[in-house]
Amino acid sequence: MVVDFENIVFVIVSGAAVLGALGCVFANRVAHSLLWLMLTFFAVAGIFLMAQAEMLAAIQILVYLGSVMLVVQFGVMLTRRTIQDVDI
């Protein structure tokens, strides 16, 4: 089995995607969950770049991170704090 640079980068980027997805699910606050989701989107864009799909990577970054996640992040940050501080 030959281990080259592309395989190592793929393992790192895919690990970041899985770590971001797990962080998104297990984060205590909604704002932290959105930041983990942003990491996941960046990692998926990196995987698209490795697959030589530059247009998909650009769309991933511009559409999801540039507009959708930014609007959702501002919406979460501007909501009242009493909604988020519920103890289970």
Distances (CA, A) of 58 to 30, 45, 46: 26, 7, 10
Q: What is this structure's pTM?
A: 0.78
Q: What is the pLDDT along the chain (88 residues), one digit of tens a residue?
A: 788 999 999 999 999 999 999 999 999 888 788 889 989 999 999 999 999 999 999 998 998 888 887 888 788 778 766 555 565 5
Q: For residue 88, is it within any domain?
A: no
The answer as to whether 40 is a domain residue is yes
The answer to whether position 77 is within a domain reads yes
Category of 52 on φ-ψ map: left (φ > 0), alpha (ψ -120 to 50) or beta: left
Q: Which residue segment(s) compose the domain that 58 sits in? A: 5-83
Q: What is the pLDDT of residue 84?
A: 55
23: which residues sit within 8 A by CB, 6+ positions away?
A: 32, 33, 36, 39
- 67 lies in some domain: yes
Closest CA to 14 of 58, 37, 45: 45
For residue 28, give the CATH number of its domain. 1.20.120.1200
10: left (phi over 0), alpha (psi -120 to 50) or beta: alpha
d(CA 20, CA 56): 19
> What domain count does the chain have?
1
